């Protein structure tokens, strides 16, 4: 019971109580405590600690444990870095946004946790929509025209996607009609156990609508624009939170549907849809990456790329499925590192445009080094973890005889690497005609010495390297258990 209170009760209570207080330092301190307690509880759940049996509503299988640990880890680091960003904003201090920042992030943690541990499809759907309502005001943090447009675009597209998912739930209910499972409700344990009795036509229609609907929050092409705009226009801590954790929560719904179809004739169709979605995401990333002049938008499209690689691995199955699980973990860490450093760059250069960022390694030494290392991690340079997870997905393609598909994936990844490299090295070594005194005036206040953002990003990058070289046995066993639940 104490673990449930730590995971759900504490974030909900903290978020609600914060509406009474205005002191930002108190909110920050308590948010750090909540994040640390939540992470400790998630680690205990992951390690196999006993959780009360809420079979009807909550589920703590291997899939839940992994995704819960990812969410809790991301949230902890975001909270650690949030205070410095709020007090050294690149724009005029938006007091109204600062007042609700910790209120909404704590409520987001509650809603996201509830979505991950729910055993009921309806409860998952409600909790997932709640995360949208919690994160939308934070997208509008800067309270300018661009962030307002991004917020409404995100709300509209995600709401349409959630409506699609609701239609998918209705179709799933129709597929159950006339079976014993119909009386037992939309509990995942019931749906997975009895899926072979369902009407396959309605089950296929259900999977289509739920996959397409949840793609708006995952960031899978062609349903990606809302997520890309939200990430590129929100403050860096929120961009990291959306990119590194929220996409995974939406992916959980797709994985639950994949579990439901895994023992039915619809499973092969489900895999094909995942592969198509993954390839579409890579193609879209290639097309847009060469046209970008916004480094936060570049990172957002990198998320589209890597979530595309994840769903591609899920569709391939076998060793590719295992690689996709590890890729999701590594991608969450990498996106945090990139967005934390992007926040430092934004604060100093007062711009998100690539052509306005220059001599980064010279002027902002620590930010430049860490941003460059994070870039090397996201483009899968060894010994960072993404290199090894991509190799596993490629191995899955080879094992399935998908030589043409593998060639296409490598071709797209090459061009994405070229496009990102061109932009990043412009930022690292580019020059400008701005007066040298103005450059120093702009940069000195924030990066003249190491700060908490630099230190936390360095830790995250070290973890990425360590996990690439050595996978903890507990993590490997959990991923293996997940793969077994999908019959791999």
Q: Please state the φ and ψ torsions of residue 21, each to the nearest 5 degrees.
A: -105, 150
Cβ atoms of 119 and 57 closer than 8 Å: yes
- Decide: 210 and 168 in contact? Cβ < 8 Å: yes
Q: What is the DSSP string of 67-86?
A: HHHHHHHHHHHHHHHHHHHH
Whole-angstrom CA distances from 174 to 170, 206, 261, 265 are 6, 9, 15, 17
| Under 8 Å between Cβ of 234 and 138 | yes
pLDDT in tens, 130-180: 999 999 999 999 888 899 999 999 999 999 999 999 999 999 999 998 888
Predicted TM-score (pTM) of this structure: 0.93
**Is pLDDT above 80 for 95?**
no
Tokens of residue 267, six digits: 């499973």
Mean pLDDT computed over every residue of the chain: 90
Tokens of 325: 């699980």
What pLDDT, in 10s, does the model give residues 256-306?
Answer: 999 999 999 999 999 999 999 999 999 999 999 988 899 999 999 999 999
Give the burial class of 414: count Cβ atoms within 10 A of its Cβ; 0-12 exposed, 13-18 middle, 19 or more buried: exposed
Instruction: Provide the residue ranges of all domains of the chain, joining segments of one domain with +.
Output: 276-488
- For residue 377, which of 422, 332, 345 has the smallest C-alpha distance? 332
pLDDT at 154: 94
Q: Is pLDDT at 436 greater than 80 in this prediction?
A: no
| Residue 404 in tokens | 């043409």
Q: Helix (H, G, I), strand (E, B), or coil: what is residue 58? A: strand
Q: Does the pLDDT of residue 440 top 60, yes or no?
A: no
Alpha helices in 244-359 (DSSP H): 247-261, 266-289, 295-316, 319-349
Name the residue with tokens 């639950």: 256
| Beta-bridge partners for 294 | 353
User: CA–CA separation, 198 vs 233, rounded Å?
Assistant: 43
**Listed residue (63, 101, 72) closest to 3, CA to CA:** 72
pLDDT for the residue 197: 93
Residue 78 scores a pLDDT above 60: yes
Q: What is the pLDDT of residues 328-363, one digit of tens each?
A: 999 999 999 999 999 999 888 888 899 899 889 888
Using alpha carbons, list the distances in angstroms from residue 458 to 43, 63, 67: 22, 28, 23
The model's pLDDT over 206-259, given as tens digits with 9 standing for 90+, comes to 999 999 999 999 999 899 999 999 999 999 999 999 999 999 999 999 999 999
Coil vs helix vs strand at 118 = strand
What is the structure's pLDDT at 54?
A: 63
pLDDT in tens, 379-419: 999 999 999 999 999 999 999 999 999 999 999 999 999 99
Question: Residue 439: pLDDT above 60?
Answer: no
Residue 244 has what pLDDT?
93
The pLDDT, as a whole number, for residue 433 is 47
Share of the chain above pLDDT 90, in %: 75
Burial of 3 (0-12, 13-18, 19+ CB in 10 A): middle
Per-residue model confidence as pLDDT tens digits over 17-36: 999 888 888 999 999 999 99
Which H helix or E strand runs over 235? none
What's the token pair of residue 386? 């993404």
Q: What CA–CA distance (Å, rounded) separates 238 from 253?
A: 22
Q: Could you give phi then psi for residue 58, rounded to 5 degrees? A: -115, 150
How far apart CA 268 and CA 274 sit, in angstroms, is 10
d(CA 3, CA 296): 36
**Residue 200 confidence (pLDDT) above 50:** yes
pLDDT, position 98:
85
């Amino acid at each position: 019971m104490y673990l449930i209170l730590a995971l759900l009760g504490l974030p909900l209570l903290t978020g609600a109580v914060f509406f009474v207080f205005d002191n930002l330092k108190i909110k920050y301190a308590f948010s750090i405590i909540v994040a640390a307690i939540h992470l400790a509880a998630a680690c205990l759940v992951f390690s196999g600690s006993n959780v009360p049996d809420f079979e009807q509503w909550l589920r703590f299988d291997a899939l839940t444990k992994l995704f819960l640990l990812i969410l809790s880890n991301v949230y902890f680091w975001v909270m650690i870095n949030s205070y410095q960003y709020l007090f050294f904003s690149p724009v005029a201090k938006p007091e109204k946004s600062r007042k609700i920042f910790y209120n909404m992030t704590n409520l987001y943690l509650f809603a996201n946790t509830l979505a991950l541990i729910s055993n009921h499809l309806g409860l998952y759907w409600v909790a997932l929509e709640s995360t949208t309502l919690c994160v939308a005001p934070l997208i509008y943090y800067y309270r300018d025209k661009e962030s307002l447009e991004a917020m409404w675009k995100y709300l509209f597209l995600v709401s349409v996607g959630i409506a699609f998912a609701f239609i998918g739930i209705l179709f799933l209910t129709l597929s159950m009609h006339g079976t014993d499972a119909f009386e037992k409700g939309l509990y995942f344990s019931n749906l997975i156990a009895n899926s072979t009795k369902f009407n396959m036509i309605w089950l296929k229609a259900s999977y289509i609508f739920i996959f397409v609907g949840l793609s708006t929050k995952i960031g899978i092409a062609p349903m990606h624009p809302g997520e890309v705009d939200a990430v590129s226009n929100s403050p860096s801590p929120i961009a990291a939170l959306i990119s590194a954790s929220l996409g995974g929560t939406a992916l959980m719904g797709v994985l639950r549907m994949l579990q439901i179809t895994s023992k039915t004739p619809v499973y092969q169709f489900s895999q094909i849809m995942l592969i198509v979605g993954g390839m579409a995401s890579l193609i879209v990333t290639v097309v847009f990456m060469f046209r970008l002049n916004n480094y936060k938008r570049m990172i957002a499209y990198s998320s589209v790329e890597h979530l595309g690689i994840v769903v591609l691995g899920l569709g391939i199955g076998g060793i590719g499925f295992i690689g996709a699980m590890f890729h999701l973990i590594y991608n969450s860490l990498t996106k945090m590192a990139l967005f934390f450093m992007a926040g430092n760059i934004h604060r100093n250069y007062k711009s998100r445009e690539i052509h306005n960022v220059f001599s980064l390694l010279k002027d902002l030494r620590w930010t430049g080094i860490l941003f460059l290392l994070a870039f090397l991690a996201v483009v899968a340079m060894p010994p960072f973890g993404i290199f090894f997870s991509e190799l596993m997905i490629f191995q899955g393609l080879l094992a399935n005889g998908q030589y043409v598909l593998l060639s296409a994936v490598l071709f797209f990844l090459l061009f994405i690497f070229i496009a990102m490299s061109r932009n990043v090295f412009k930022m690292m070594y580019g020059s400008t005609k701005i007066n040298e005194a103005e450059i120093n005036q702009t940069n000195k206040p924030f990066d003249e010495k190491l700060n908490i953002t630099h230190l936390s990003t360095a830790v995250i990058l070290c973890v990425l390297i360590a996990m690439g070289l050595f996978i903890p046995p507990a993590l490997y066993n959990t991923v293996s258990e997940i793969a077994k639940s999908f019959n791999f």
